[in-house]
Amino acid sequence: MRRLIRNIAFVALSALLLAPMGCESGEDVFQSQMDRIVSYMTSRMKLVSEAEADQSMTGEKLPYYTRCGDAYRHITNVYRADRPAKRIAEGSKITFRYEAYLFESGPANIPFATNNRATGKILAEQYDLDTTYWDFSPAVRILGTDPIIKGLELTLPDCAAGDTVYTFMPYEVAYGDRAMGVIAAESAVMMVTVIDDVE
């Protein structure tokens, strides 16, 4: 019975992940989350801001993060030589896989939602979850038309097929000030998104 309840909760959270949400709340919670996100990116991920990367005197291609409205992103493979010129813009049809994690001073150890089959297999083996009915098909959304969590709407423009994108969202552009299943009210979220295709 516990297995069934966990599986139902996981499927429900996966569906909610792609629904648009956003609420107003205290500036102190928001700012604290933004500060923790930047601290994590600079200390744990060893990233610099995009402005610092652009001003690098060494000519070295530094890994960087970008602020996109009230969210941050890091494209892990932004410097790859075969990166397509076609970029995501409003109206683009995007096919992607994702893993979503709660974020405090770093991401939680396991995702609360995913459509990545490899991650689902690991969760099934390590946590005895029955993933038989999970939907591991890639998500397909038209940016600006279809419902999608606000943090992704802010960070996916200018990404390309083949990109792996880390999106860091304070609660205002994640799930807002309402609790949903394992997601507490005012929770910051980190998503790892792999862009499979852009049309």
Q: What is the 3-state secondary structure (H, E, C) of 119-144?
A: HHHHHHHHHCCCCCCCCCCCEEEECC
Stated pTM of the model: 0.85
Q: What is the pLDDT of residues 95-152, one digit of tens each?
A: 999 999 999 999 999 999 999 999 999 999 999 888 888 899 999 999 999 999 999 9
Q: Which of 167, 191, 183, 16 is nearest to 99 (CA)?
A: 191
Architecture of domain 2-198: Roll (3.10)
Q: Where are the domains of the chain?
A: 2-198
CB 27 within 8 Å of CB 34 = no
Tell me, what's the pLDDT at 5? 47
Helix (H) or strand (E) holding 118: helix 117-127
CA 130 to CA 194: how far, in whole Å?
24
Question: In the structure encoding, which two tokens stand for residue 166, read together?
Answer: 């880390």
Is residue 193 exposed (0-12), middle (13-18) or buried (19+ Cβ within 10 Å)? buried
CA 150 to CA 21: how far, in whole Å?
7
Cβ neighbours for 169, distance < 8 A, ≥ 6 positions apart: 70, 71, 103, 149, 150, 151, 188, 189, 190, 191
Question: Pick the residue with more confidence: 132 or 188?
Answer: 188
Mean confidence (pLDDT) of the chain: 89
